[in-house]
Amino acid sequence: MFKKILYPTDLSDVSLKALDFLKQLRECGSEEVLVLHVIPEQTILTLRAYGEGTVNVDEFETGLMEKATKSVAEVEAELKKFGYKVKKMINTGFPLREILTTEQEEDISLIVIGSHGKSNLEEMFLGSVSEKVIRKCKSPVLVIKR
Ligand code: ATP
Ligand code: MN
């Protein structure tokens, strides 16, 4: 039923909790996971505008990409252990836009997303990315609670 899953992850603890449920979905017949990590372009733009002279923005960006590449590879290895076919994407951009574009471009049957991410503010019912994804995407969404 949920053959091809889009799993957008910011690599936060809440988001990585999804792996347990992805394992169960595999046991229910899901076949493929598209792991999407978005490096927030806004962070880079803000640093370029305000941080120049205090941080080396290029080095910072390279560091983010290296760290993300390593962590996404770990997620991929885990999903492969469950028996999934895995496709990885690390994009620089605006998380919501990248998630929705990827949903449109791929033949997605389910989105698995964390209720919260790196900010994980106690008083928030949902994070801003998960809230907008749920509102704007076409596929059914499985929200993994913190
Ligand atoms: P906020 O970002 O609004 O301060 P938050 O970080 O707690 O709050 P979200 O960013 O909405 O919450 O994260 C919810 C879920 O959205 C994450 O668990 C993850 O599945 C997805 N997500 C968030 N950011 C990204 C990203 N940069 N790349 C891929 N997926 C993301
Ligand atoms: Mn966030």
Mind listing the pLDDT tens digit for each residue in 17-52? 999 999 999 999 999 999 999 999 999 999 999 987
Ligand 1 pocket residue status of 98, Cβ below 6 Å: no
Cα–Cα distance, 143 to 130 (Å, whole number): 8
pLDDT of 61-119, one tens digit each? Answer: 999 999 999 999 999 999 999 999 999 999 999 999 999 999 999 999 999 999 999 99
Question: What's the average model confidence in pLDDT over 6-13?
Answer: 98
Give pTM, 2 decimals. 0.97
pLDDT on residue 52: 76
36 lines ligand 1 (CB under 6 A): yes
Q: What CATH number is given for 4-144 in this structure?
A: 3.40.50.620
Q: Is 2 helix (H, G, I), strand (E, B) or coil?
A: coil
Q: Ligand 1 pocket, 40 CB below 6 A?
A: yes
- All structural domains of the chain with their residue ranges: 4-144
**Per-residue tokens: 70:** 């390593």
